[in-house]
Amino acid sequence: MDKQLQLLKEMTDVNAPAGFEQPMTQFMKGLFENDGIKTIQDNTGSIFGVKEAASNHSIMLLGHLDEIGFMVTEITEKGFIKFTNLGSWSGTVMTSQKVTILTRKGEVRGIIGSKPPHVLPADERNKVNPDAMFIDIGTANREETLNAGVSVGDAITPYSEFEVMANPNYLLAKAFDNRFGCSAAYEVMKDIKHNITLYSGAVTQEETLSRGAITAANLLKPSLAIAIDVCICSNTPGMEQSGQAKMGEGPVILLSDAWNIGHVSFRRYVEQIAQENEIKVQHDYLTGGYTDAGHVAVSNNGVPAITISVPTRYIHSNVSMMHREDYNGAVMLLKKVVESLDDAAVERIIKQEI
């Protein structure tokens, strides 16, 4: 396994759902410090590597640290665990899936229990009720579950191992949403030439209404911002009419999402950089989802903000699949954009002269 694959494996292996991002904050801090890169953090745990320049302007590249997950809300007398969502889940992808409960004593494996079809009435076999779900860690009663270390308020994450698929460009893991963005933000910082100050890192609680983007943007006060996140992948059965982005055909520049219209001048600038460097890009838009660009765009006096994505299969489930060349294209595009910017270019973008 090469260094890049090892980085992606280690990042996706970290268990850090929304509100419980500290393990990822520390992981990112270690990466930056090992490379001698100064860091800055807000009080929620959002963290950025900093490369300063003698300039009037700065750019913020932000992935998000958190993944979707759950939180323990109740332990029943029979030892089963009730839970609530951290982030958006569909019940159709939850039943019979392995999870990891993050207790103070360590990790505890469990499974989201479900009834076998043999005992379900015909009218219930195709219905899913998340409120009726529970987690089974293999205990006989409440006391055994408590003795295993499980407490109300503990975080829960999906369990899935990192794997390279039959085509080695296809990578499978939990939490590419959004360890893709974390990894890309880190890789951009390496060996980059820059004329404006660069903040590159990741924020907390994107999956729960993008809260960390607000505090981080207020801390950094960037001139420009690019959110780095996953997007819908349309080249799987049944998804052909649900989007335009296809896995393996390059990074995606989002035109808009539920919270943000990509800043037109900045988008055009990025498109120009992609063309000049022969980086293949795609375009898409989201009607039912958002990225951190939305909150950064309305921070301070307003920030030109866009989102650069990669098409990712099976997001917001226990597993996700990403194409390595889309990832590399996104990293290359982000680097070229940052390296091309100077104070004059930033001013032209802000004044919408492009």
Domain with residue 32: its CATH number is: 3.40.630.10
Can you give the residue range of the structural domain that contains 237? 3-67+174-350
Q: Is the backbone of residue 222 left (phi > 0), alpha (psi -120 to 50) or beta?
A: beta
Helix axes 176-189, 324-340, angle to 10 degrees: 40
Q: Which two tokens stand for residue 217?
A: 């943007």
- 188 and 50 part of one domain: yes
- 188 and 239 part of one domain: yes
**Is 150 in contact with 75 (CB distance < 8 Å)?**
yes
Q: Which two tokens stand for residue 353?
A: 């002269």
Give the active site residues: 206
Residue at which a domain ends, from 158, 185, 213: 158
- 311 and 211 part of one domain: yes
Give the dihedral of Cα atoms 331, 334, 340, 343; nearest 10 deg. -150
The reported pLDDT for the residue numbered 64 is: 98
Concatenated DSSP letters for 170-206? EEEES-HHHHHHHHHHHHHHTT---SSEEEEEEES-G
- 254 and 329 part of one domain: yes
Q: Locate all alpha helices (DSSP H) within the chain, ordered by sequence.
A: 3-13, 22-34, 142-147, 176-189, 211-220, 264-276, 293-297, 324-340, 343-350
Show Cβ contacts of residue 33 under 8 Å, excluding neighbours closer than 6 positions: 39
- Considering the domain boundaries, does residue 167 fall inside one? no
- Considering the domain boundaries, does residue 332 fall inside one? yes
- 323 and 206 part of one domain: yes
> Which CATH number belongs to the domain containing residue 133 in this structure?
2.40.30.40
- Considering the domain boundaries, does residue 168 fall inside one? no
- 17 and 140 part of one domain: no
The reported pLDDT for the residue numbered 239 is: 80
- Considering the domain boundaries, does residue 164 fall inside one? no
Q: b/e for 166-196, b at 16 or more Cβ within 10 A?
A: eeeebbbbbbbbbbbbbbbbbbbbeeeebbb
- 124 and 206 part of one domain: no
- 63 and 78 part of one domain: no
Q: Say how many domains are in the chain.
A: 2
Q: Which residues pair with 39 in a beta bridge?
A: 49
Residue at which a domain ends, from 126, 158, 190: 158
The position carrying tokens 């520049």 is: 253
- Considering the domain boundaries, does residue 242 fall inside one? yes
- Considering the domain boundaries, does residue 166 fall inside one? no
- Considering the domain boundaries, does residue 236 fall inside one? yes
The position carrying tokens 């569909």 is: 90
- Considering the domain boundaries, does residue 240 fall inside one? yes
Residue at which a domain ends, from 128, 158, 188: 158
- 217 and 288 part of one domain: yes
- 137 and 224 part of one domain: no
Show Cβ contacts of residue 228 under 8 Å, excluding neighbours closer than 6 positions: 61, 62, 63, 178, 180, 181, 184, 185, 307, 308, 309, 330, 334
pLDDT along the chain (354 residues), means of 10: 97 98 98 98 98 98 98 98 95 92 97 80 73 94 98 98 98 98 97 96 97 98 98 87 89 96 98 98 93 97 98 96 98 98 98 96
- 215 and 130 part of one domain: no
Beta strand spans in 4-103 (E): 38-41, 47-51, 58-64, 69-75, 81-86, 98-103
- 178 and 319 part of one domain: yes
Cis preceding linkage at 178, omega within 30: yes
Concatenated DSSP letters for 107-123? EEEEEE----GGGS-GG
The reported pLDDT for the residue numbered 125 is: 67
Distance (Å) of CA 241 to CA 9, 137, 182, 247: 31, 40, 29, 15
